[in-house]
Amino acid sequence: MIDIENLVRKNIRELVPYSSARDEYSGEAILMDANESPYNQPFNRYPDPRQKELKEKIAEMLQVPSGRIFLGNGSDEAIDLLIRVFCIPGSDRIIIMDPSYGMYKVCADINDAVVDFVELNPDFTLNAERILGNVISSTKMIFLCSPNNPTSNLLETDEIVKVLEGFRGMVILDEAYIDFTGSDGLISILDQYTNLVILRTLSKAWGSAGIRLGMALADPRVTAWLNRVKYPYNVNLLTQEKAMDLLGNDKQKQEWVEMILAERRRLAAKLEGQDIIKKIFPSDANFLLVRVDDPDAVYEYLAQGGVIVRNRSRMTHCRGCLRITIGTEAENNRLIELMETF
């Protein structure tokens, strides 16, 4: 077992966290402890800093104990806090697979952690050996993303496990798109690996990017460290309430996912036949990565026609690639029509 306590930055280990009024007392009473207004119920009160009710709901849904759940202002907050808790600015290093989601590098840069990019195989599969071959003594953290953005493929569990087994630091596994796969992700192995952190979000399958709710699932000691460092009221009342409503309706999410998957199949089939499309990569997510000959021109043409896609053609192994998020049937039809007339 890895001594995760020892991986935490010394100043964070010694930190005396802010203790808020709602931390000290949260029961039914006349509350004269937090300088809140007595008017404008219920928004006059600070929200639950520990999001107890919401965590219980998520715990039940994911079959994970509440103590293993950290909730943040999007998973982006969790990414930033993880780096702040574990990585000493100016000296500790982070391995990020290349290509992958851009926020890991931005958060690393903000926190002055040194980034080592390690390439995926040209077919976008994970090469655990290459990842581990780049670990040095100051490497504290490895970011993996499955399904990966922008390549849209689920990573092989065996390779992820090899990374977990072979690394003495923290492994952050971003499962933002897991609901679009047939897989349950790796929550089931959380209790075997104290250095594993799984990120989930309400921004994709749950259709709620606007409310900003993300989560980190991890060893209770890790979630405790994250809780000590976060802003006391990082998940606002509106978000907590809206998330309670949403998460009560798993059927709705499942319907949305089915519709997106059906549209993904239809869109891929329609694009497959077009001259302009050189390749469509197999997708486990709510987007398609497609290769064209002149991505800049196609991007521009689509934008002129009112459809904005993401130009990923300058990323490693992504020559000629555009990333297309699956829209509604009508939105996808407009894209198909534009592609046909390019």
Ligand X SMILES: *Cc1c(COP(=O)(O)O)cnc(C)c1O
Binding segment for ligand X among 71-79, 189-197, 233-241, 276-284 (CB under 6 A)?
Answer: 71-79
Q: 220, 68 in Cβ contact below 8 A?
A: yes
76 lines the binding site for ligand X (CB under 6 A):
yes
153 lines the binding site for ligand X (CB under 6 A):
no
CB atoms within 10 A of CB 78: 28
74 lines the binding site for ligand X (CB under 6 A):
yes
| 3-class secondary structure, 172 | strand
Residue with tokens 């459809």: 307
Residue 320 — left, alpha, or beta (φ > 0 → left; ψ -120 to 50 → alpha)?
left
Comparison of 38 and 282: residue with beta carbon closer to ligand X: 282
209 lines the binding site for ligand X (CB under 6 A):
yes
75 lines the binding site for ligand X (CB under 6 A):
yes
311 lines the binding site for ligand X (CB under 6 A):
no
Q: Give the full edge-to-edge strand order of the sheet including 196-201.
A: 69-72, 214-217, 196-201, 170-174, 139-145, 93-98, 114-119
Comparison of 128 and 155: residue with beta carbon closer to ligand X: 155
Q: 326, 286 in Cβ contact below 8 A?
A: yes
Dist CA 173 CA 8 (whole Å): 18
Comparison of 64 and 211: residue with beta carbon closer to ligand X: 211
108 lines the binding site for ligand X (CB under 6 A):
no
* Minimum distance, C-beta of residue 243 to ligand X, in the bound complex (Å): 12
| 3-class secondary structure, 63 | coil
Using CB under 6 A as the binding rule, the residues of this chain from 186 to 205 that contact ligand X are: 201, 203-204
284 lines the binding site for ligand X (CB under 6 A):
no
Give me the residue whose beta carbon is nearest to ligand X. 74
Of the candidate residues 46, 86, 101, 299, the single one contacting ligand X (CB under 6 A): 101
Dist CA 20 CA 260 (whole Å): 42
Altogether, the residues listed in the chain come to a count of 342
* Minimum distance, C-beta of residue 294 to ligand X, in the bound complex (Å): 26
99 lines the binding site for ligand X (CB under 6 A):
no
Interface size with ligand X, residues (CB under 6 A) = 13
**342 residue type, one letter:** F
Kindly list the residues in this chain that would bind ligand X in the complex (CB under 6 A). 74-76, 101, 145, 149, 174, 176, 201, 203-204, 209, 214
